[in-house]
Amino acid sequence: MNLKVKAVLDPLFTPLSLVCREMREKTKDNGQDIVIGCQRNKGYTTVYRTRIFADGTGNDEENFRFVERMVKALLWVVGGYKIIIAGSSVVGERIKDAYKDKSLRDFDFHFMARVYEQPFEVELRSIEDAPVTYEAASPVGRHLDGCRIGFDAGGSDRKVSAVIDGEAVFSEEVVWHPKVNSDPSYHYQGIVEAMKTAASHMPRVDGIGVSSAGVYVDNRIMIASLFLKVSDEDFDKHVKNMYIDVAKEIGENIPIEVANDGDVTALAGAMDLGDVNVLGVAMGTSEAGGYVDEQGNITGWLNELAFVPVDYNKDAMQDEWSGDYGCGVKYFSQDGVIKLAPAAGITLDESATPAEKLKVVQSLMAEGDERAAKIYDTIGVYFGYAIAFYAEFYNIRHVLVMGRVTSGEGGVILLNKAQEVLDTEFPELAKQLKLHIPDESSRRIGQSVAAASLPKIS
């Protein structure tokens, strides 16, 4: 595959955005349509339509490999417990085999079943009976009236704000250690204490908005790294409804809305920009994502970009958790920086933590080290091609880039290189979207106000 902008430290990088484009080109005259649907809670269904080689033309293996990557990507962008394949029973049967216990996509199969509390399944249909998109229409966020609490649950600190008619009248950050505590009462008491402190700075509480890493369905905590050490039994008994229980303790019938922190970051950015169609990508310990649609709403999609594949190269580095190759976490996080260090000629201390290794590269970058610059240059190339792949699923006007990987001069190189890829390879897309790095102070206050704006007050 010929890339117009090369990934200097990763010559085998094969962007999925170009694979999609090539597949459409190659199947123009002898292809067949295929529709992939993902169904989640309340029957909401998101659909992706593309084209593959006609069944029985000797391209079954190439068809399967391509569709398998697109199914995986759609599944982690929108979430769901059911995959629907319409248009090719040949490919569909192979996808069905992949999404089973102890099969190729064992991790995804079990993860989604747990999130949606439904058995995971793959359904095959004819193209005439292809699924259609059915999405949630209810707006979430941008409500600034009344007295609200905005709570942001981070892995190392928790932030809370008291917000009256859109203005933060009180904010505080408290260091806590949720990821190493196995007793859920530690988390519960910390959250209650934060909310009661914010409540004491207002005449009343009209609504509570929560921004937190993890997966939330109908305000229930399905999976969240904050509760890493909590046993499965305690999780089901004490954690799943924790935010709902906390709201009851703050007051009777107070509306609460819980959203993934990536979504709230995108919402904060959208409110700051005064625009819609915002994709937020945070490059830190992992890769986090969030999205605000054309109505200015957050969608209820998973946006778990860490698990979305971006590289078609089968020999690309595997993610330890899912066991899959070429996924975003190894490209747009501190792992991405560490992965490229040897190719850049930088030796990192094996006994150092990932955060310490990142700091070493950032220090070299601050000193003007060319080797470190090549790392950020390469990640920028990755990111430009990845944005074009994300645009297969999201309608994007703005991309907000944040997280500790993007701080300092490295972040500037990364963004400039991503822009170069878009301008060179995807000029039409480049015309319709802008890349931004928000400043830290506006993001912090903006995050709490955006969180507070989540619930609608009746």
Contact 277, 297 (CB under 8 A): no
Q: Are residues 226 and 320 in the same domain?
A: no
- Whether the per-residue pLDDT at 214 is higher than 90: the answer is no
pLDDT of residue 412: 94
pLDDT of residue 235: 96
Domain stop point among 129, 156, 171: 129
**What is the spatial distance between Cα 424 and Cα 280, in angstroms, rounded to a whole number?**
23
Q: Which two tokens stand for residue 178?
A: 């949720």
Answer whether residue 60 is part of any domain.
Answer: yes
Domain stop point among 129, 164, 188: 129
Answer whether residue 9 is part of any domain.
Answer: no
Q: Are residues 270 and 248 in the same domain?
A: no
Q: What is the mean pLDDT of residues 41-65?
A: 96
pLDDT of residue 1: 87
Contact 34, 67 (CB under 8 A): yes
**Which one, of 61, 172, 443, 99, lies nearest residue 290 by Cα?**
443
Q: What is the mean pLDDT of residues 215-240?
A: 93
Q: Are residues 401 and 279 in the same domain?
A: yes
Domain stop point among 231, 260, 289: 260
Answer whether residue 454 is part of any domain.
Answer: no
**What is the spatial distance between Cα 72 and Cα 130, in angstroms, rounded to a whole number?**
19
Q: Are residues 221 and 235 in the same domain?
A: yes
Q: Are residues 225 and 249 in the same domain?
A: yes
**What is the spatial distance between Cα 41 and Cα 81, in angstroms, rounded to a whole number?**
8
**What is the spatial distance between Cα 71 and Cα 205, in angstroms, rounded to a whole number?**
43
Q: Are residues 293 and 438 in the same domain?
A: yes
Domain with residue 57: its CATH number is: 3.40.140
- Whether the per-residue pLDDT at 279 is higher than 90: the answer is yes
- Whether the per-residue pLDDT at 140 is higher than 80: the answer is no
pLDDT of residue 220: 95
**What is the spatial distance between Cα 191 and Cα 151, in angstroms, rounded to a whole number?**
8
Answer whether residue 65 is part of any domain.
Answer: yes
Q: Are residues 110 and 61 in the same domain?
A: yes
> Per-residue pLDDT tens for 34-46?
999 999 989 999 9
Poorest-pLDDT segment among 86-90, 383-387, 442-446, 447-451: 442-446
> Per-residue pLDDT tens for 289-303?
999 999 888 888 999
Domain containing 102: what range?
16-129
- Whether the per-residue pLDDT at 178 is higher than 60: the answer is yes
Q: How confident is the model at residue 442 (pLDDT cuts 50, 70, 90)?
A: low
- Whether the per-residue pLDDT at 439 is higher than 80: the answer is no
- Whether the per-residue pLDDT at 50 is higher than 90: the answer is yes
Share of the chain above pLDDT 90, in %: 80
Answer whether residue 142 is part of any domain.
Answer: no
pLDDT of residue 104: 97
| 201 backbone dihedrals φ, ψ, rounded to 5° | -100, 10
> Per-residue pLDDT tens for 313-346?
999 999 988 999 999 999 999 999 999 999 999 9
Answer whether residue 138 is part of any domain.
Answer: no
> What's the longest Cα–Cα distance across the chain?
71
Q: Which two tokens stand for residue 220?
A: 């229930």
pLDDT of residue 70: 98
H-run or E-run covering 451 = helix 440-452
446 vs 436: which has the higher pLDDT = 436
**What is the spatial distance between Cα 240 and Cα 242, in angstroms, rounded to a whole number?**
6
Round the average pLDDT of the chain to a whole number and report it: 94
95 vs 214: which has the higher pLDDT = 95
Q: How confident is the model at residue 371 (pLDDT cuts 50, 70, 90)?
A: very high
Q: Are residues 231 and 82 in the same domain?
A: no
Question: Nearest 5 degrees, angle CA 107-CA 312-CA 315?
Answer: 80
Domain with residue 161: its CATH number is: 3.30.420.40
Q: Which pTM value belongs to this model?
A: 0.91
Answer whether residue 1 is part of any domain.
Answer: no
Q: Are residues 270 and 238 in the same domain?
A: no
131 vs 140: which has the higher pLDDT = 131
Q: How confident is the model at residue 137 (pLDDT cuts 50, 70, 90)?
A: low
pLDDT of residue 440: 60
- Whether the per-residue pLDDT at 453 is higher than 60: the answer is yes
Q: Are residues 212 and 253 in the same domain?
A: yes
Q: What is the mean pLDDT of residues 218-232?
A: 92
4-21 in b/e form (b: 16+ CB < 10 A) is: ebebbbbeebbbbbbbbb
pLDDT of residue 286: 87
Place of tokens 């069905």: 96
pLDDT of residue 138: 63
Contact 125, 85 (CB under 8 A): yes
pLDDT of residue 272: 86
Answer whether residue 66 is part of any domain.
Answer: yes
Q: What is the mean pLDDT of residues 40-64?
A: 96
> Per-residue pLDDT tens for 6-31?
999 999 999 999 999 999 999 999 89
Share of the chain above pLDDT 70, in %: 98
**What is the spatial distance between Cα 333 and Cα 284, in angstroms, rounded to a whole number?**
5
Q: How confident is the model at residue 265 (pLDDT cuts 50, 70, 90)?
A: confident
Q: Are residues 253 and 288 in the same domain?
A: no
**What is the spatial distance between Cα 240 and Cα 248, in angstroms, rounded to a whole number?**
15
| 114 backbone dihedrals φ, ψ, rounded to 5° | -70, -45
Report the domain count for the chain: 3
Q: Provide the residue type at 302 as one letter.
A: L
**What is the spatial distance between Cα 147 and Cα 94, in angstroms, rounded to a whole number?**
53
pLDDT of residue 445: 57
**Which one, of 32, 38, 132, 33, lies nearest residue 84 by Cα?**
38
Number of H helices, E strands in the chain: 14, 15
Q: What is the mean pLDDT of residues 81-100?
A: 98
137 vs 136: which has the higher pLDDT = 136
Q: Which two tokens stand for residue 223?
A: 């999976």
Q: Are residues 89 and 174 in the same domain?
A: no
Q: What is the mean pLDDT of residues 215-242?
A: 93
Q: What is the mean pLDDT of residues 146-153?
A: 95
